[in-house]
Chain A
Amino acid sequence: MPDKMHTLDLGSPDFVEGTARVVEITGTLAWLEPEQTTSCGHCAASAACGAKGLGTIANRIAARRFALTDHPGLRVGERVVVGIRSDALVKAALTAYAIPLCTLFLGGGLAQWVWGQDGTTIMGAVAGLFLGLGAARLGAARLFAGGTSAPRFLRRVGPADCQPALK
């Protein structure tokens, strides 16, 4: 019998955390750029790894710049830990990917059922995909309307946030 019981705390709001650097302050808004470029932990082959995608890393990070309104007097150059609600992450992934996939299959299946040829099935699937992307746009606008899904300031980066590299 273990001397202490480990439990998952399911009641408190759960955040997916990431570090970001303040790059600009405009009025009450603090503009931040995420430091992490990939969600893998990086490895010895990171210099040659394609996980950074096409284009330069700087371009890709700049494209993901975001603003914080509820910050406690941040200054340019500061490193902070920001978080998004984990349920918002799952909802966003479902909105962006599950809706277009469903309509893709609906369009393809319908075309296959009516015409029964590969060419028309492809066209039906593509039409369904674009229809789904339109629906995803509406869903995303609804998801982010309340502001609860936006990234929020959690804390300034401290020693506890710097993990040693694996050896």
Chain B
Amino acid sequence: MQEYLLLMVGAILVNNVILARFLGLCSFMGVTTRVDTAMGMGLATTFVITVSSMLNWAAQAYLLEPFGLGYLRTVVFILVIAGAVQFTEMTVRKVSPPLFQMLGIYLPLITTNCAVLGVALLLIEGRMSFIESTVFAFASSLGYSLVMVIFAGLRERLALAEIPRLFAGPPIGFITAGLLALAFMGFSGISTV
């Protein structure tokens, strides 16, 4: 149990998918103008990363490795991720059309979110078991959501602040992102994972 806890702390705070691995930066800058939308995007991405990582682990263990098709890993993973996103979209649409109207906006963005592919490749590189890889993927996406919400909160405050004209908009966003990354560096060393 302690092993899983360390794995989670490592993936959420120490090796954060956005601030330490620099993955998913387009959604980090594009969907963080409001806390609510950042939370919606974070939850959708958490769901897709977890489900697609499970599928990718299964594809690696039962298809790519036994048949020596490791060179097709990236292509297969991209297909699996696109399939997982489409499955999620169809399911949400079927389960509740009003939910689809509200949340359908986030799903296409996830298809091109490199964090989803990055996490899948990282867990294969780490040679993790199924349960470990699922916990790692879930924790990584929690880290992604955490940073998205924190950054959206900061940007909401910045929108109300008096900022020099040259720094208004994306420049102050990038500066804030850099300061946030520096703050997260403080977690280095609390986990060895």
Question: Are A and B physically bound partners?
Answer: yes
Minimum C-beta distance from A86 to chain B (A)? 4
* In the complex, chain A residues whose CB is within 8 Å of the CB of B39: 89-90, 93
Docked complex: A1-58 residues within 8 A CB-CB of B = 2, 6-8, 14, 16, 34, 36-41, 49-54
> In the complex, what residue of chain A is closest to B157 when comparing beta carbons?
A8
For residue A66, CB closer than 8 A to chain B, the reply is yes
CA distance A96 to B48 in the complex (A): 12
Minimum C-beta distance from B97 to chain A (A)? 9
Known: A52-B108, A63-B93, A97-B46. Contact between A40 and B134, CB under 8 A? no
Known: A88-B102, A98-B43. Contact between A166 and B169, CB under 8 A? yes
Docked complex: A111-158 residues within 8 A CB-CB of B = 112, 118, 121-122, 125, 129, 133, 136-137, 140-141, 144, 149-151
> In the complex, what residue of chain B is closest to A112 when comparing beta carbons?
B131
Minimum C-beta distance from B166 to chain A (A)? 14
From A40, A93, A121, contact of B43 by CB (8 A): A93
> In the complex, what residue of chain B is closest to A134 when comparing beta carbons?
B95
Query: Do residues A121 and B96 form an inter-chain contact, with CB atoms below 8 A?
Result: no
* In the complex, chain B residues whose CB is within 8 Å of the CB of A38: 105, 108-109
* In the complex, chain B residues whose CB is within 8 Å of the CB of A39: 30-31, 37, 41, 105-106, 109
From A64, A101, A104, A151, contact of B100 by CB (8 A): A64
* In the complex, chain A residues whose CB is within 8 Å of the CB of B86: 54
For residue B6, CB closer than 8 A to chain A, the reply is no
For residue B2, CB closer than 8 A to chain A, the reply is no
Known: A40-B31, A101-B50, A129-B51. Contact between A53 and B108, CB under 8 A? yes
Query: Do residues A89 and B156 form an inter-chain contact, with CB atoms below 8 A?
Result: no
CA distance A39 to B170 in the complex (A): 16
Interface size on A, residues (CB 8 A): 58
Interface size on B, residues (CB 8 A): 54
Minimum C-beta distance from A88 to chain B (A)? 7
For residue B188, CB closer than 8 A to chain A, the reply is no
CA distance A37 to B108 in the complex (A): 9
From A86, A105, A125, contact of B34 by CB (8 A): A86
Minimum C-beta distance from A89 to chain B (A)? 5
For residue B118, CB closer than 8 A to chain A, the reply is no
Residue interface bits B44-78, CB-to-A below 8 A is 1, else 0: 10110011001000100100000000000000000
CA distance A94 to B36 in the complex (A): 11
Query: Do residues B105 and A108 form an inter-chain contact, with CB atoms below 8 A?
Result: no
* In the complex, chain B residues whose CB is within 8 Å of the CB of A80: none
Query: Do residues B47 and A40 form an inter-chain contact, with CB atoms below 8 A?
Result: no
A residues apposed to B, CB below 8 Å: 2, 6-8, 14, 16, 34, 36-41, 49-54, 60, 63-64, 66, 84, 86-90, 92-98, 100-101, 104-105, 108-109, 112, 118, 121-122, 125, 129, 133, 136-137, 140-141, 144, 149-151, 166
Can you give 10 contacting A-B residue pairs, CB < 8 Å? A39-B30, A40-B26, A40-B27, A60-B108, A64-B100, A96-B96, A97-B47, A122-B58, A125-B54, A151-B101
Q: A64-B105, A92-B99 are in contact. List 4 more A-B contacts (CB 8 A).
A: A54-B111, A105-B134, A125-B54, A140-B96
Would you list the 9 A-B pairs with minimal beta carbon distance, nearest first? A53-B108, A140-B96, A40-B30, A86-B36, A97-B47, A6-B160, A118-B130, A93-B43, A50-B112
